[in-house]
Amino acid sequence: MSRPFFRSVFAVLSLAFGLSLLLTHQASSKAKPKAKTANAEQSGAAGGDAKKTGKPQQVASYGDWGVFVAQGEKSKTCYALATPKERNPSGLSRDPAYVFIANRPGEKIRNEVSIIMGFPVKEDGAVRAETGGSGFDFVAKGTNAWIKNQAEEPRFVEALKKGSKLIVKAPSLKGHVTTDSYSLAGLAQALEKVDKECP
């Protein structure tokens, strides 16, 4: 099967995951201070739960990024997830947005970047991601976006690891040009954990 097929399947899954994961991430962040020993214990327990239930479980948190693991029927998915720190224009009504960077070893997919915009993107609209002085074009379908040129994906991920901020700009169906700003603090460590969980 082709990679675009997996991207479309992952888009549907990631939307469902994202909504539940954001709530889990926010609740765990607010509930108690982070302790290394507690995180290690929770990590082991979460990993076990992920294998049993198939639901994504947060196994670690680094800066503004969470690391999640989900065991499907045939393959395991591990990914780093973040939400925007700032969204402009601020008055627009939108669903939550997320950036995912995923490994799916069973499908030989590594460091696949997916963005859930939180609104339907204008058909054939230009979605652009910028970090560290470099820009990358994305292609959108519905509320989701992926890098247009897959050959650039490794370079994009390396730029994200070295950067401090990711800016994503996209036009909505209603004609608004939106800008979401993501912090990249902790991303390099989060991706190391993703690689350990899904080598």
pLDDT tens figures, 91-124: 888 999 999 999 999 999 999 999 999 999 998 8
Domains annotated for the chain, with CATH where assigned, are 3-197 (2.60.40.1880)
> Tokens 């601020």 identify what position?
90
**Average pLDDT for the chain:** 81
Residue 72 tokens, joined? 């499907």
pLDDT-based confidence at residue 69 (cuts at 50, 70, 90)? very high
Which value, in Å, is the radius of gyration of the alpha carbons in the chain?
A: 16
pLDDT-based confidence at residue 71 (cuts at 50, 70, 90)? very high
- Report how far residue 46's alpha carbon sits from residue 68's, in angstroms, rounded to the nearest whole number: 9
**Terminus-to-terminus CA distance in the chain, angstroms?**
21
> Which pLDDT belongs to residue 52?
55
Q: What is the mean pLDDT of residues 3-18?
A: 43
Angstrom CA distances, 13 to 47, 89, 128, 161, 162, stand at 19, 28, 23, 25, 28
Angstrom CA distances, 31 to 35, 43, 138, stand at 12, 16, 36
pLDDT-based confidence at residue 162 (cuts at 50, 70, 90)? very high
> Which pLDDT belongs to residue 91?
87
Q: Which of 107, 93, 84 is nearest to 13 (CA)?
A: 107
> Tokens 């603090």 identify what position?
185
> Tokens 């399947």 identify what position?
9
Largest alpha-carbon pair distance within the chain? Answer: 49
> Which pLDDT belongs to residue 18?
46
Task: Tell me, yes or no, if the pTM score tops 0.75.
Answer: yes
45-60 burial code (b ≥16 CB/10 A, e <16): ebeebbeeeebbbbbb
pLDDT-based confidence at residue 53 (cuts at 50, 70, 90)? low
